[in-house]
């Protein structure tokens, strides 16, 4: 099922959740994966870029997490996985600083949501990918190659490696895991 959704719109989120429940009868899992990169907003120091990054990357995750958790709490179970980044742990000199700020917001929002919704049976975790191949239309592909020698596993990650981590956190195999951060970065921020 495809439902066009602007993650910065509460009305769009409500519509998406309503349609999901209409078609599937319930909402078990939410993966908050929509986001934009710091290179997607133009000038590295613009207020407009800051606002756009925070709106999509942080507010969008807040809306999805909050509205989905409310529905999941009605049935006493559910799993939310918020996609952040290793830049939610560390800063970087490249790109817009709003990217790290927005991903750090996701990291701490996840913990707050885990504490708030855990008593109702809703688990909330975050995943923090490291350097992967550039996204479609990505403007920073060249800089990624420079990160390989600084990554202990000496390669970029693959999207499927992140997907398996998300799958684990979304599944019943992670039934006692909430409020945690799963870093999938080849050891980049361990040093």
The full 3-state SS of 41-83, as one line of letters, equals HCCCCCHHHHHHHHHHHHHHHHHHHHHHHHHHHHHCCEEEEEE
Asked whether residue 1 is domain-assigned, the answer is: no
Q: State how far the Cα of 7 lies from the Cα of 66, in Å rounded to an integer.
A: 12
Neighbours of 134 (CB within 10 A): 17
Residue 135 DSSP code: P
99, 131, 164, 188: which is the annotated catalytic residue? 99
CATH number at residue 114: 3.40.50.720
Q: State how far the Cα of 187 lies from the Cα of 152, in Å rounded to an integer.
A: 5
Asked whether residue 172 is domain-assigned, the answer is: yes
Q: State how far the Cα of 146 lies from the Cα of 105, in Å rounded to an integer.
A: 27
Asked whether residue 5 is domain-assigned, the answer is: no
pLDDT of residue 140: 59
Q: State how far the Cα of 187 lies from the Cα of 26, in Å rounded to an integer.
A: 37
pLDDT of residue 156: 95
Number of domains in the chain: 1
Is-catalytic flag, 99?
yes
Asked whether residue 4 is domain-assigned, the answer is: no
Q: State how far the Cα of 185 lies from the Cα of 181, in Å rounded to an integer.
A: 12
Asked whether residue 153 is domain-assigned, the answer is: yes
Q: Give strand pairing partners of 184.
A: 129
Please list the helix, strand and coil fractions of the chain in percent, rounded to the nearest 5, in that order.
Answer: 55, 10, 35
Backbone torsions φ then ψ of 103, nearest 5 degrees: -75, -30
Range of the structural domain that residue 23 is part of: 10-190
Asked whether residue 177 is domain-assigned, the answer is: yes
Q: What is the mean pLDDT of each run of 10 residues along the chain (191 residues)?
A: 95 98 96 91 88 97 98 98 96 88 98 98 98 69 82 95 98 98 97 91
Q: State how far the Cα of 52 lies from the Cα of 25, in Å rounded to an integer.
A: 34
Whole-structure pTM value:
0.94
Asked whether residue 59 is domain-assigned, the answer is: yes
Asked whether residue 3 is domain-assigned, the answer is: no
């Amino acid at each position: 099922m495809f439902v066009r959704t602007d993650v910065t719109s509460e009305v769009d989120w409500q519509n998406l959740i309503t349609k999901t429940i209409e078609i599937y009868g319930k909402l078990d899992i939410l993966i908050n994966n929509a986001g934009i990169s710091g290179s997607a907003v133009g000038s590295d120091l613009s207020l407009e870029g800051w606002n756009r990054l925070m709106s999509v990357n942080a507010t969008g995750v807040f809306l999805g997490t909050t509205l989905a958790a409310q529905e999941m709490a009605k049935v006493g179970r559910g799993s939310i996985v918020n996609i952040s980044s290793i830049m939610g742990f560390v800063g970087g000199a490249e790109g817009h600083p709003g990217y790290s700020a927005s991903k750090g917001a996701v990291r701490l929002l996840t913990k707050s949501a885990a504490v708030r919704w855990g008593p109702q049976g809703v688990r909330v975790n975050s995943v923090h990918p490291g350097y992967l191949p550039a996204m479609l239309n990505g403007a920073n592909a060249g800089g990624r190659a420079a990160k390989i020698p600084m990554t202990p596993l000496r390669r970029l990650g693959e999207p499927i490696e992140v997907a398996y981590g998300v799958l684990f956190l979304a599944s019943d195999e992670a039934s006692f895991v909430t409020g945690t951060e799963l870093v999938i970065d080849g050891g980049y921020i361990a040093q």
